[in-house]
Amino acid sequence: MKEVPDYKKYPVSEEEMGKRYKNWTESLGRQMAMMYKVGKEVGGEEFVERLKEAYREFGKSLVPLLMKQSGTKPEDFKDCIGLGKLIDTIDDSLANFWDGYEENSPKAFEKKILTCPMTEAWSTEPDLCAVMFHEMFGGVLETLNPKFKSDGFKKLLVRGDNCCHYRMELVED
């Protein structure tokens, strides 16, 4: 196993490291957009469909970690009320800021995200964001409660909208 560098011995403040990590994030975002573009060019719709499948499975695999990070339990997801705490934990960890909810009721959870660090980097391939997060959230939702449904994002910052707007609902049979 490779030894991990100990950054504490280098004379860089946490604030300075934060700026450097931000640069890395932006660089990786641009690289993801480029790979998505090339993937569509080379693999067409087959690539996009395979990517959707991979992100849905990834979302399913994240549920135990997300529940641990948010302090939620399976019983919190009998309706949509528990989604607020879990999704706020995700959004906060990704530096996505919001100003309250559109709805947080047993039947629906709806929110507008006002900031996103990937807005500029992914604006060249805005469908990457729509595909990635719609499918990833889809995997999370179906794992938490198969009755949770979402039609995806109504608005996306990467498309030039003033927010990222999504809604998740409890759909009874």
Per residue in 25-56, pLDDT (tens digit) is 999 999 999 999 999 999 999 999 999 999 99
Backbone angles phi, psi at 169, to 5 degrees: -130, 155
| Residue range 20-33, pLDDT digits in tens | 889 999 999 999 99
Condensed to tens digits (0 to 9), the pLDDT of residues 65-103 reads: 999 999 999 999 999 999 999 999 999 998 899 999 999
**pLDDT tens across 132-173, in order?**
999 999 999 999 999 999 998 999 999 999 999 999 999 987
Are 46 and 138 in contact by the 8 Å Cβ rule? The answer is: no
